[in-house]
Structure 1
Amino acid sequence: MNRAIFPGTFDPFTIGHYSVVRRALTFMDEVVIGIGINENKNTYFPIQKRLDMIQKFYKAEPRIKVMTYDCLTIDFAQKVEAKFIVRGIRTVKDFEYEETIADINRKLAGIETILLFTEPELTCISSTIVRELLSYDKDISAFIPEGLEL
């Protein structure tokens, strides 16, 4: 079975994240969305709320599991027996960062990283921007998947 993890903070889960998951399912048997606990990040939604939102959103998709983790991403991948890490990239800056992490992950654990380029119409969307819009009570419905309940 080809299982991948899709790690991130997902604060909140955007249409960009949804796109990566949808596309990964075209070549993976299963995708584990791993919500990383990062005490250094100021999050908008508590971890349990993010977990509940994404689990509820994908409740009808048996090929997707949603979990939290508070260890190195490669340790989480090994824990869930994933052979791959899937990441979405929007910019050259994202690519350079992800390439470095992918090289380290391969050296440390033999886990391959698959980079999916963001669809052009989604490159401007980031959780950071969506959080900022939320903090000013702006409508974010165009930036989150239809059916995701905040």
Structure 2
Amino acid sequence: MASVAVYPGSFDPVTNGHVDIIERSAKVFNKVIVAVLHNRNKDPLFSVEERVAMLQDSIKDIPNVEIDAFNGLLIDYVRHKNAKTIVRGLRAVSDFEYEMQAASINRKLDPDVETFFMMTNNQYSYLSSSIVKEVAKYEANVDGLVPSFVAQSLYEKYSPFSSS
């Protein structure tokens, strides 16, 4: 039986920590769908289309990874994709409480879907999209935190000459 997993997130922007989780998940599952959430509770820097494009460029060499976008409940999306696993990355203990609640409600909504937690690589344990945006906003170097084309996109968004 082929195993399909969904790795959801806002990915605003994708970081090297996200890429690490994607690469490692692709070694565990036959297919990984990286699903960009359009979260109405957040005001993203990048559009869903930009985030999808950045992710596609980030994982172009991993054949068993697909990039998609969705609205609504994650569990409905997972069912729609015939997946049985949700992948979530954990950076620190502080992530665990939120992720445990999300996994519990998803399990309540569909007992056949499991949540697979992956600890982030230690070199990315401090890294989040929010921190990357904050650093880039003040024109500090984000090399090594995000793929190079994502860094360029961040600098363009925050440039005083940008039309965004």
Name the TM-score class by shorter chain. over 0.9
Select between 140-149 and 118-127 the one with higher mean Cα deviation. 140-149
Partner of 1:135: 137
Select between 54-63 and 87-96 the one with higher mean Cα deviation. 54-63
RMSD of aligned Cα (Å): 1.5
Partner of 2:14: 13
Asked if residue 105 in structure 1 is aligned to residue 106 in structure 2, the reply is yes
- What secondary structure sits across from 1:65 in the alignment? strand
Select between 46-55 and 131-140 the one with higher mean Cα deviation. 131-140
Give the drift of 1:96: 1.3
Given that 2:3 and 2:29 are in contact with CA atoms closer than 8 Å, whether structure 1 keeps it comes out as yes
The whole-number CA distance in structure 1 between the counterparts of 2:61 and 2:147 is 15
Partner of 2:30: 29
How many matched pairs? 150
Select between 58-67 and 110-119 the one with higher mean Cα deviation. 58-67
Q: TM-score, normalised by structure 1?
A: 0.93
Give the drift of 1:147: 6.1
The whole-number CA distance in structure 1 between the counterparts of 2:133 and 2:77 is 26
Give the drift of 1:60: 3.6
The higher-RCO structure (CA 8 Å, 6+ apart) is 1
Give the drift of 1:146: 5.3
% identity of equivalent residues:
35
List per-residue Cα deviations over 1:28-77 (Å, max 9, x = no partner): 00100000001221211111111111123323432111011011111111
Given that 2:33 and 2:66 are in contact with CA atoms closer than 8 Å, whether structure 1 keeps it comes out as yes
Q: TM-score, normalised by structure 2?
A: 0.85
- What secondary structure sits across from 1:5 in the alignment? strand
Gaps of 5+ in 1: none
Gaps of 5+ in 2: 154-164
Partner of 1:124: 126
